[in-house]
Amino acid sequence: MDLIWAPWRIWYIQKATTQNGVCSLCSESKTTELDEDNFVLYRGKNCFALLNTFPYNNGHILIAPYRHVRDLKDLTDEEIIEVFRISKIAVNALEKSMGAQGFNIGFNVGEVAGAGCADHIHLHIVPRWSGDTNFMPILGDVKIISEALKNSYERLLPYFRGVLK
């Protein structure tokens, strides 16, 4: 086994283990005074956007309804429209601030589909760049996230607040 020293990850580990069975998306949707700590980028009427604290790539954004809804078919029309309206803002922000060249956008519905938070539906927006999958995940079974979440958050936030377009 390869040992990779990453002491900054303790914040993520502690955050994940202190949830005590409470839905993290519900928790983060209700605590507006902790938006910066929870990396919440945007709050709409029915849905919100935040950085994934266990990202696949830099700038990995989640968009979820405030309501604790498990399945896509349980979303209201208003929630569906708002999820995709926020996703347009997210794609623009990721293109402009990070130079994203493509995106993986989708829902993992159910635990067997890979949903880490299977009880609260959310849309993933994963920015992609040419060459972002290199030899490390393939040969070393290691994924490298090259930017701290705080830096990504600060870079993306002006686009969600409408300061930059």
Closest CA to 44 of 161, 137, 159, 163: 161
Cα end-to-end distance, the chain, whole Å: 45
Q: Please tell me the predicted confidence (pLDDT) of residue 17.
A: 39
Q: Please tell me the predicted confidence (pLDDT) of residue 20.
A: 58
Residue 6 banded pLDDT, cuts 50, 70, 90: low
Q: Is 55 exposed, middle or buried (0-12, 13-18, 19+ CB in 10 A)?
A: buried
Closest CA to 102 of 70, 72, 57: 57
Taking only the tens place, the pLDDT of each residue in 55-70 is 888 999 999 999 999 9
Q: Please tell me the predicted confidence (pLDDT) of residue 158.
A: 96
φ/ψ of residue 128, rounded to 5:
-130, 150
Contact 131, 159 (CB under 8 A): no
Contact 134, 97 (CB under 8 A): no
Which of the residues are catalytic? 122
Contact 60, 125 (CB under 8 A): yes
Average pLDDT, the chain: 84
**Among 18-32, 35-49, 129-143, which stretch is predicted with the lowest mean pLDDT?**
129-143
Q: Which residue has the tokens 């954004």?
A: 61
**Better-predicted residue by pLDDT, 158 or 165:** 158
Q: Please tell me the predicted confidence (pLDDT) of residue 114.
A: 73
Task: Report the percentage of the chain scoring pLDDT > 70.
Answer: 80
Cβ atoms within 10 A of the Cβ of 87, count?
19
Q: Please tell me the predicted confidence (pLDDT) of residue 27.
A: 85
CATH of domain 41-160: 3.30.428.10
Which whole number is the average pLDDT over 109-115? 78
Largest CA distance in the chain: 48
pLDDT at 83 over 50: yes
Q: Which amino acid is at 87?
A: S
What tokens were used for 91?
A: 């794609």
pLDDT at 116 over 70: yes
pLDDT at 18 over 50: no
